[in-house]
C-alpha cells in the first residue's frame, strides 16, 4: 500500500510535469520614441525591401533608377502599417482556430482528511481523489472549429481587400503627383508666353498701336497664370507628401528618388470584357469575405443548437481510508446539465438572427459591387471618349501653332500672334491633361471595382498575405 506521503509526492511530480509544457510570458513593450525613429529611418534603398522585391520577381531599381507603379506597390505592401494591422487580425483569428480545436482539460480534485478521533487505528489519514472529465456532446467541437475556420477565412479576404485599398491609395497619390508636375510645367510654359505677350503689347502701347485696356487684360491673364503656377508648386509638394504616406514612409524617404509614370499614360481595354465583370462579382474580396461571414453565422447557429443538449462530465473517484480497514474505494460518477429550465432558446434565436443579418449583408455587398462595377465601366468609357476629343482638339491647336510660326518666320504675321497661339496651345494642353487625368482616375476606379489579376498579380497578393514586413516584426 502506497503511503500518503508518496501519493502527495507523485501528485506534485505530475503537476510539475504538466506545468513544464506551458508557455511563458515575454514582454514586448512599445516605445513611441523608437517607433518614430524607425519610421524616419525607412528608405526605398533598404536592403530588406530590395530583397523583398527580388523575391517577388520585381527587379529592384538601380541606384538612381526610376520606381514604377509595380515596384512602389510592393514597397507599400512592405511598409504600410494598415497591412501589418490586417495581418495581425488574421493571425489572431488563426490562433483562435487552435483554441477552437482544443478539447476541455480534465480536472483533478484531492481533499486529504486527518482524524485522530478513532483510537487504535494504524493511520489517521483519509485521501479521496476525484477526476472530472468533460465530454462534449452534440458535435460542439466540430461546430466550434468550423466557426473559427470561417471567421479566419473572412479576415483573410479582409486582408486581400486591404491590399487593394493600399494599392488604390498609392495609385491615386502617384497620379496626383504626376498631374501636379505636368500642370506645373504647362503653367510655367504658359506664363513665359504670357510674359512675352505683355512685353509685346507694352511696346505696341508705347508706339500707340494698342490701348491700355488691351495691355491691362494681358497683365491680368499673366497674374492669373502666375497664381495658378504658385498653387501648382504647392500641389506638387503636397502630392509628394501624400505619396510618402501611401507608401508608409516619411516624405524625406522620397528625396532624390526618381519616379516612373509610364503606367499612368496607357489606357488598357482588357478590364472592360464581360467575363472580367462576371468573375469580379464572385471573386471580389468583399464579396468573398461576406460569404465567409455568412458561413461563420451558419456554424455559430449549429454550435448554439448543439449546446441545447446536456453537458456531460465523467467523474471517476478513488479514496484511500487508512483508519479502519486500510482499504481503497473506487467510484464512477456521471454529471449531466439538465435542460429543465431552458433549451438554449435565447442564444439559438440570436444566432438565427445573426444568420439573417449575414445573408442580408452578403446581398448588400454583392449589389454594391454590381453598381460599383457598372458605374466604373460607364465612367471609363465616357472618359476615354472625352480624352479622344481633347486629343483631337490639341492636335488641331498644334497644327495651328506650327502654321503661325511659319507665318511669323515668313513675315506674314506678328510675334504677338505667335504668343497668342502658344497660350492657346498651352490652354488646350492643360484641358487634354485634365481629360487624361480624369480617364486615369476612372481606370483606377475600374481596377478597384473588378480586382482582377490583370491589375494586381496573384503572386503579389500572396506576398502581402504570407510575408511579414518590417512593421510586423
With cell 472530472, the residue in question is: 132
Per-residue pLDDT reduced to its tens digit, 227-279: 999 999 999 999 999 999 999 999 999 998 999 999 999 999 999 999 999 99
Residue 224, classed as helix, strand or coil, is helix
pLDDT of residue 334 exceeding 80: no
With cell 508557455, the residue in question is: 23
Contacts within 8 Å (CB) and 24+ apart, 292-296: 292/150, 292/151, 292/153, 292/154, 292/157, 293/150, 293/151, 293/154, 293/358, 293/361, 293/362, 294/355, 294/358, 294/359, 294/361, 294/362, 295/150, 295/153, 296/147, 296/150, 296/151, 296/154, 296/358
Confidence (pLDDT) at 17: 56
Residue 466, classed as helix, strand or coil, is helix
Confidence (pLDDT) at 400: 92
The mean pLDDT value for 336-360 works out to 88
Percent pLDDT > 90 in the chain is: 53
The mean pLDDT value for 126-136 works out to 73
Confidence (pLDDT) at 90: 92
Higher pLDDT, 284 or 334: 284
pLDDT of residue 118 exceeding 80: no
Confidence (pLDDT) at 126: 65
pLDDT of residue 8 exceeding 80: no
Least Cα distance to 73 among 472, 447, 450 occurs for 447
Confidence (pLDDT) at 1: 44
Per-residue pLDDT reduced to its tens digit, 56-115: 888 888 888 899 999 999 999 999 999 989 999 999 999 999 989 888 888 777 766 665
Mean pLDDT of the chain: 86
Higher pLDDT, 402 or 23: 402
Amino acid at each position: 500500500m502506497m503511503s500518503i506521503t508518496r501519493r502527495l509526492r507523485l501528485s506534485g511530480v505530475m503537476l510539475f510535469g504538466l506545468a513544464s509544457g506551458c508557455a511563458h510570458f515575454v514582454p514586448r513593450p512599445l516605445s513611441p520614441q523608437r517607433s518614430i525613429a524607425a519610421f524616419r529611418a525607412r528608405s526605398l534603398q533598404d536592403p530588406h525591401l530590395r530583397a523583398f522585391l527580388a523575391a517577388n520577381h520585381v527587379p529592384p531599381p538601380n541606384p538612381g533608377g526610376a520606381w514604377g507603379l509595380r515596384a512602389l506597390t510592393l514597397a507599400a505592401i512592405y511598409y504600410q502599417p494598415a497591412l501589418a494591422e490586417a495581418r495581425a487580425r488574421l493571425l489572431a483569428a488563426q490562433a483562435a482556430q487552435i483554441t477552437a480545436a482544443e478539447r476541455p482539460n480534465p480536472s483533478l480534485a484531492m481533499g486529504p482528511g486527518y482524524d485522530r478521533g478513532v483510537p487504535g487505528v494504524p493511520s489517521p489519514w483519509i485521501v479521496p481523489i476525484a477526476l472530472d472529465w468533460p465530454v462534449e456532446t452534440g458535435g460542439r467541437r466540430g461546430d466550434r472549429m468550423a466557426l473559427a475556420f470561417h471567421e479566419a477565412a473572412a479576415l483573410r479576404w479582409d486582408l486581400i481587400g486591404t491590399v487593394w485599398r493600399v494599392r488604390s491609395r498609392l495609385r491615386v497619390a502617384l497620379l496626383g503627383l504626376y498631374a501636379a508636375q505636368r500642370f506645373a510645367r504647362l503653367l510655367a510654359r504658359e506664363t513665359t508666353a504670357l510674359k512675352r505677350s505683355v512685353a509685346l503689347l507694352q511696346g505696341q502701347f508705347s508706339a500707340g498701336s494698342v490701348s491700355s485696356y488691351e495691355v491691362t487684360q494681358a497683365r491680368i491673364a499673366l497674374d492669373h497664370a502666375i497664381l495658378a503656377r504658385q498653387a501648382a508648386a504647392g500641389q506638387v509638394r503636397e502630392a509628394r507628401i501624400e505619396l510618402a504616406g501611401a507608401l508608409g514612409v516619411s516624405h524625406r524617404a522620397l528625396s532624390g528618388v526618381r519616379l516612373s509614370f509610364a503606367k499612368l499614360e496607357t489606357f488598357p481595354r482588357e478590364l472592360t470584357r464581360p467575363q472580367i465583370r462576371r468573375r469580379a462579382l464572385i471573386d471580389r474580396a468583399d464579396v468573398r469575405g461576406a460569404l465567409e461571414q455568412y458561413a461563420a453565422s451558419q456554424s455559430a447557429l449549429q454550435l448554439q443548437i448543439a449546446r441545447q443538449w446536456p453537458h456531460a462530465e465523467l467523474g471517476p473517484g478513488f479514496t484511500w481510508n487508512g483508519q479502519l480497514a486500510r482499504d481503497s474505494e473506487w467510484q464512477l460518477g456521471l454529471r449531466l446539465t439538465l435542460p429543465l429550465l431552458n433549451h438554449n432558446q435565447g442564444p439559438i434565436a440570436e444566432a438565427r438572427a445573426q444568420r439573417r443579418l449575414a445573408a442580408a449583408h452578403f446581398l448588400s455587398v454583392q449589389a454594391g459591387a454590381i453598381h460599383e462595377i457598372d458605374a466604373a465601366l460607364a465612367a471609363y468609357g465616357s472618359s476615354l471618349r472625352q480624352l479622344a476629343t481633347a486629343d483631337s482638339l490639341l492636335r488641331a491647336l498644334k497644327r495651328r501653332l506650327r502654321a503661325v510660326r511659319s507665318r511669323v518666320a515668313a513675315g506674314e504675321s506678328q510675334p504677338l500672334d505667335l504668343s497668342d497661339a502658344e497660350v492657346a496651345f498651352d490652354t488646350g494642353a492643360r484641358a487634354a491633361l485634365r481629360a487624361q487625368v480624369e480617364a486615369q482616375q476612372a481606370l483606377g476606379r475600374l481596377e478597384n471595382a473588378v480586382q482582377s489579376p490583370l491589375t494586381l498579380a496573384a503572386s503579389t497578393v500572396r506576398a502581402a498575405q504570407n510575408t511579414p514586413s518590417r512593421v510586423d516584426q
